Structure formats: C-alpha cells, structure tokens
Amino acid sequence: MESIQRRSETALAALLPEANIAPNRLHDAMRYAVLGGGKRVRPLLVHAAGQLAGADPERLDRIACAVELIHAYSLVHDDLPCMDDDVLRRGKPTVHVEYDEATALLVGDALQALAFQTLAETPLSDEPAVQLAMITLLARASGSRGMAGGQAIDLDAVGKQLSREELEFMHIHKTGALIRASVLLGAQCGTPLPPDDLARLDHYGKLVGLLFQVVDDILDAQADTATLGKTAGKDADHNKPTYVTLLGMADARALAESLLANARSAIAPFGEQAARLDELASFIVHRRF
Ligand code: GRG
C-alpha cells in the first residue's frame, strides 16, 4: 500500500502544473490542495482492481491521478463557506483559508478539468471505445447523478430527519460513486473481464463506498466524543444526519462489519487475485482517520 501511495504522490506531483508557471498563485494552490496528504484510498482501489485485470501500472497511475484530482476538487469545494465551512483539512488550513475563496473555487474547477484532460490525452486501453466509456464513467460518477448530486442531497438534508434508505441513497452518491468508479476504472483498464466478474467488482465497489462513509461517520463521532465529550460528531454540529445519529454507535459498527463481510464475499470467487482488494476493504474499516 505504501508503495502505491508513494507512486501516486509522484505521479500527481508530475501531472500538476508547477507553481512557477503562470498563473502562479492558482498553480500553487492546486498543488497545495492535492499534494502531501490524504490516504490515497481511491488510487489504491484503482491499482488493486487494475492488477486483478492485468492492467499496465503506468496506465493505472493516470487513472489513479484523475480520480484523486476529482476527490481533491470535491474536498476543496466542500470546505468552502457556502458548503461545510471548514478551516482545517488534512491538518492544514483549507484552501480558501490559506489562499482565498475565489482561488479555492478556481482550484476545484481546474482540478476537475485536469482530471478529464488526464483521462483523454493518453491511451488507457487498446480499444478507443473502452477509453471513451471510462471517461463517461468518471463523468457520471462525478456529476449530478453521482458525487455532486449526493452533495446536493446532503446540503438539503441539514436539519432534517432522513430514513435509513434516504441516508444510504445520499452516501452511495456523495462518497460512494467515486469509490465505485475507482474500482471499475481500474478493472476496465486491463484485459476485458467477463460480465459476471465486472458485476462482482461493481458490487464490491458499491459496498466499499458505503462502508467508507459509515466508518467516516463513526470516526467523526468518536473524535468529537474524545475532544468535546459529546456523543455526536461534526456533522451533528452541522445538524446533518449520520449513521451514528440514525442507528447509534453500536449498530453503526455492526453495519460496518456486515458491509465488510459482504464486500469480501463479493470478491471471494477471485481467490488470491483479489487479495489486495480484500486488504483494502479491511483498511477502510480499521483506518483511524
Ligand atoms: C463539492 C461537488 C462536491 C462534492 C463534495 C465527497 C464530498 C462531496 C465531500 C467530502 C465531504 C466529506 C468529508 C465526506 C466524508 C467522506 C469523505 C469523502 C472523506 C474524505 O475522504 P478521505 O478520507 O480523505 O479519502 P483523504 O484526506 O484521505 O483523501
């Protein structure tokens, strides 16, 4: 995992425009937003699924970068005062605090454009039609019927009581869509897989995407319990529903364990070939931040 994290960092650093190229401040802020932090979960998933499909690691680097650029853009915009209004991200001042709001907005816009440029300008598959399908997949996962749509539902949910189905729908889009896309993009970059195998990976991606958010809710609640003596976390301060506020801590943990078991079962037929995907599902559950 560490070696993939390192190579993703190197690939991102090489892809992002240098800060001494005009417009310098924007490029500096883009590098600040992307480099030197983050667990790189999505690149890890791209490489693990790609390895299973026998994909070229250098092609996987490009896909991993594209997905991570979309992720970084979403964090920059999510932190803006008009959204979650956060001042810290990855232990550093958020982009709008370190630079300014207009720059943060442009950083997100430019990172998103760079993601699609990255997918479009180098060969990722020997079949142009597959490459086009990959670009479409990332666009769908990022757009109004994916991550951006999930964010809209999230903003709309402030102060409301959501049912478990509504909460799941929101998170499958907001956080889950990009995680699921990471798995599928990695898989599509390799030797074409039979439809049943792709469906298994898609199911795994969907479960792991939801799992990621359930664990995020648990970690947020734990962090605030530890620091503030409260039972609900940051999102509760923002009056947003979470798995912990909806189910309670014990049931949220039980849900995480059951999603983990189901994700593992989905890829069990691949045997040893899916060892990395299996480890990543555990990593997502047992991570500390
Ligand atoms: C602004 C269009 C738009 C979308 C924002 C994903 C998202 C949608 C916002 C992020 C808000 C958030 C903190 C959600 C919780 C789950 C999550 C995505 C956490 C951060 O991802 P990690 O843990 O971050 O992978 P690192 O720093 O490790 O990259």
pLDDT at 261: 97
Tell whether the model's pLDDT for residue 147 goes beyond 80: yes
Residue 224's pLDDT band (cuts 50, 70, 90): confident
Residue closest to 84 by CA, chosen among 179, 166, 174: 174
CA distances from 219 to 1, 216, 286 (A): 21, 5, 10
Tell whether the model's pLDDT for residue 65 goes beyond 60: yes
Tell whether the model's pLDDT for residue 216 goes beyond 50: yes
What digits encode the pLDDT tens for the residues 30-53? Answer: 999 999 899 999 999 999 999 999
Average pLDDT of the segment spanning 53-82: 98
Domains annotated on the chain, with CATH = 2-286 (1.10.600.10)
Q: Which residues of 238-274 are buried (b: 16+ CB within 10 A; e: fewer)?
A: eebbbbbbbbebeebbebbeebbebbbebbeebeeeb
Tell whether the model's pLDDT for residue 108 goes beyond 80: yes
CA of residue 75 to ligand 1 center, whole Å = 5
CA of residue 26 to ligand 1 center, whole Å = 21
Tell whether the model's pLDDT for residue 54 goes beyond 60: yes
Mean pLDDT is lowest, of 83-87, 155-159, 246-250, 268-272, for 155-159
Query: Ligand 1: does its nearest atom lie under 6 Å from the Cβ of 280?
Result: no
Residue 232 region by backbone torsions, left for phi larger than 0, else alpha for psi between -120 and 50, else beta: beta
CA of residue 69 to ligand 1 center, whole Å = 12
Query: Ligand 1: does its nearest atom lie under 6 Å from the Cβ of 75?
Result: yes
pLDDT at 18: 98
pLDDT at 233: 46
pLDDT at 239: 77
Query: Ligand 1: does its nearest atom lie under 6 Å from the Cβ of 74?
Result: yes
pLDDT at 238: 62
What digits encode the pLDDT tens for the residues 74-97? Answer: 999 999 999 999 999 999 999 999
Tell whether the model's pLDDT for residue 149 goes beyond 50: yes
Tokens representing 146 are 């994916």
ipTM value for the complex: 0.94
**Ligand 1, pocket-test mutation among 1, 40, 78, 147, most atoms within 8 A of CB:** 78
Mean pLDDT is lowest, of 90-94, 137-141, 156-160, 179-183, for 156-160
CA of residue 235 to ligand 1 center, whole Å = 13
Name residues whose C-beta falls within 8 Å of residue 75's C-beta, 6 or more positions apart in sequence: 33, 89
Average pLDDT of the segment spanning 45-72: 98
Percent of the chain's residues with pLDDT above 70 = 96
pLDDT at 231: 42
Mean pLDDT of the chain: 94
Tell whether the model's pLDDT for residue 286 goes beyond 70: yes
Tokens representing 9 are 């960092």
Residue 237 region by backbone torsions, left for phi larger than 0, else alpha for psi between -120 and 50, else beta: alpha
Average pLDDT of the segment spanning 204-232: 84
Cβ atoms within 10 Å of 127's Cβ, excluding its own: 12
